[in-house]
Amino acid sequence: MTMDIKSQLIEVLKKENYTFSQLAEYLNMSEHNLTEALNNKTLELRNLELISKALRVPLYSFFRSGDISINYNEKPYYINKLWTGDDTIKDAGQLNDEIGLLKEIITLKENQIRKIKN
């Protein structure tokens, strides 16, 4: 069963205790316009990125086929602070935190690979 992007969004919103209305407001759109953009697949990528960051889910998860399920409880989220591109100097604690987050993402990806192989 293929799930459309709107259905996926509503599922994540419920788990995060947000409403579709709140999402539309966050994007400065009406619910009708957001629904139309999702149904017509005309939602701008930057809005999907905003949604991804706000809900802490990977952007690519909106484009997966229905045969691959996503466990949103595991939170393999998009971590914006790792990819800021700024040249700020970080202390050892911040760098260790980022390394820990990257290791967590790697572990999740390795588990996904193992599931696919089995």
Residue 27 neighbours by CB distance under 10 Å:
19
pLDDT tens for each residue of 83-103: 444 456 667 887 787 787 778
Check residues 76 and 19 and name the one with the higher pLDDT.
19
* Tokens standing for residue 37: 């953009």
43 closest CA partner among 55, 52, 34, 53: 34
d(CA 94, CA 113): 29
Q: Looking at residue 34, what is its pLDDT?
A: 92
Please report which confidence band the pLDDT of residue 80 belongs to, taking 50, 70 and 90 as the band edges.
Answer: very low
Give the pLDDT mean for 47-65.
77
Q: What is the pLDDT of residue 82?
A: 43
Is 5-117 a domain of CATH 1.10.260? yes
- Give the start-to-end residue ranges of the domains of the chain: 5-117
